[in-house]
Chain A
């Protein structure tokens, strides 16, 4: 057992965990935060996406012991215009992937603001618009089996439009 401390959604939590416990299991099974979902449990679907020190990660491939001292945000700790935009644009059907989609989109917008390029950013680009193809590429780590991608895209574009162009 290792004792770890994490700031989860603004509250400091102290946990004793075995080293093989994933961050996802620690959040769900130990802290009762079932927003992050165990979809594939192998880093392929993105349903477990949370923010660790502001960066989006797959909680299923993260060992909890590696996040000792980190600040973790799950969907339970999120209050963001994207949430209403997802409702407005039908950005979900069953809702299973939605917590991960939202945490991922929040992380994605922060990455864009910080100047992170993507695979579709033109080489040598200076300021560039967060286009639909940019958003699709940057959100490719979050799968939706209902196929709500167009609604998800519209919701993100709606909110990103208010935040302007880099």
Chain B
């Protein structure tokens, strides 16, 4: 690992100041950044440890929403009684990711900033525009089974790895950022950028800007919600496809739905087209299928990942069916 200076500021202003210098990076639980530093993909000059800052609680918001501090550990978020009751998909999404050891370390803010698990990103012998802008992308014609199919570009097809962010995208979460110019709030669905021709720029964060919290608005529909993840192993694997869904049905009609996809796009993918088609329509399988197919109509698949469009469609249908019957997923 390349040597670096380490600072642990006691207040947020000092942290933002320290991280505004070129070559500085914030450090939370370390589960992604330390790994990337050891691999030489991240080479910060200064590491600004933010785990001493007071952003480690989950607090109630008026009307039933929740404010989740950026330093809340993944395991604490998943176990929170309010999260499990009001937004079960969020707890399930967290528990479906990584291992228990990693969830005990990883923070919510760090989860938002975790980088892709595309194998070519990790391999210095391969071309990767995200690791080395302008060098090319060996994933385009390489082994791309895990690659994204929505929102991709000719520069990058890397999928976003987070489970937690998929649930946050479905739940209209808002990210609170603190920088030298003050505080701003960005919808989670606008926080991550699509690759275009600058895949190395992954978020809208300005230099030195710190994620301080994620806020969930009240969402009664989310009490009936589910996170369903499909992967090559039953546990401890990244998603091929995942679905975060919340559904309300009255008299056989869909009256409210929240839907987002993971494993298929360079950012957590809010399925707005499917949602638009579902609301007001019948709560039945053929309507679910039509909506899912419409969402996936724009898929751009490559040699090894063409199956993802069909898998995503089937997983959306299965998840909505489970939510509309309140019964067995099969």
B236 touches A141 (CB 8 A): yes
* Bound CA–CA A20/B30 (angstroms): 11
B3 touches A43 (CB 8 A): no
- Interface residue A73 (Cβ < 8 Å from any Cβ of B): no
Which residue of chain A has the shortest Cβ distance to B105 in the bound complex? A57
Count of A residues near B, CB < 8 Å? 38
A56 and B100 contact, Cβ closer than 8 Å, known pairs A20-B3, A63-B34, A117-B91 = yes
**Interface 1/0 per residue, A60-84 and B, CB below 8 Å:** 0111011000000000000000000
A138 touches B31 (CB 8 A): no
* Bound CA–CA A56/B104 (angstroms): 7
Secondary structure of the B contact surface, majority rule: mixed
- Interface residue A98 (Cβ < 8 Å from any Cβ of B): no
A118 touches B5 (CB 8 A): no
* Bound CA–CA A63/B4 (angstroms): 12
- Interface residue B49 (Cβ < 8 Å from any Cβ of A): yes
- Interface residue A136 (Cβ < 8 Å from any Cβ of B): yes
B79 touches A43 (CB 8 A): no
Q: For residue B234, which residues in chain A have a CB less than 8 angstroms away from its CB?
A: 137, 140
Which residue of chain B has the shortest Cβ distance to A2 in the bound complex? B6
* Bound CA–CA A55/B105 (angstroms): 9
- Interface residue B266 (Cβ < 8 Å from any Cβ of A): no
Q: For residue B308, which residues in chain A have a CB less than 8 angstroms away from its CB?
A: none
B236 touches A19 (CB 8 A): no
- Interface residue B226 (Cβ < 8 Å from any Cβ of A): yes
* Bound CA–CA A115/B76 (angstroms): 11
Which residue of chain B has the shortest Cβ distance to A53 in the bound complex? B104
A56 touches B101 (CB 8 A): yes
B102 touches A65 (CB 8 A): no
* Bound CA–CA A111/B101 (angstroms): 11
**Interface 1/0 per residue, B142-169 and A, CB below 8 Å:** 0000000000000000000000000000
Name which of B3, B37, B84, B105 has the most chain A CB atoms within 10 A of its CB. Answer: B105
A62 touches B105 (CB 8 A): yes
- Interface residue A33 (Cβ < 8 Å from any Cβ of B): no
A119 touches B79 (CB 8 A): no
Q: For residue A111, which residues in chain B have a CB less than 8 angstroms away from its CB?
A: 75, 100
A65 and B49 contact, Cβ closer than 8 Å, known pairs A58-B101, A117-B79 = yes
B95 touches A20 (CB 8 A): no
* Bound CA–CA A66/B31 (angstroms): 12
- Interface residue B300 (Cβ < 8 Å from any Cβ of A): no
B79 touches A116 (CB 8 A): yes
Q: For residue A140, which residues in chain B have a CB less than 8 angstroms away from its CB?
A: 99-100, 234-236
- Interface residue A108 (Cβ < 8 Å from any Cβ of B): yes
* Bound CA–CA A55/B8 (angstroms): 22
B105 touches A61 (CB 8 A): yes
A57 touches B47 (CB 8 A): no
User: Which of B6, B8, B34, B99 is the one whose CB lies under 8 Å from A141?
Assistant: B99
Q: For residue A104, which residues in chain B have a CB less than 8 angstroms away from its CB?
A: 100-101
Q: What residues make up the interface of A, taking CB atoms closer than 8 Å to B? A: 2, 18-20, 22, 41-43, 46, 49, 55-58, 61-63, 65-66, 104, 107-108, 111, 114-119, 121, 123-124, 136-138, 140-142
Can you list 5 A-B contacts with CB-CB less than 8 angstroms, sorted by A residue number?
A: A18-B3, A55-B75, A61-B31, A115-B79, A140-B99
Task: Taking A2-B6, A20-B3, A65-B49 as given, write out 12 further A-B residue pairs in contact, using a Cβ cutoff of 8 Å, ordered by the A residue number.
Answer: A18-B3, A56-B101, A58-B101, A62-B30, A62-B105, A66-B51, A104-B101, A111-B100, A115-B79, A117-B78, A119-B96, A142-B99
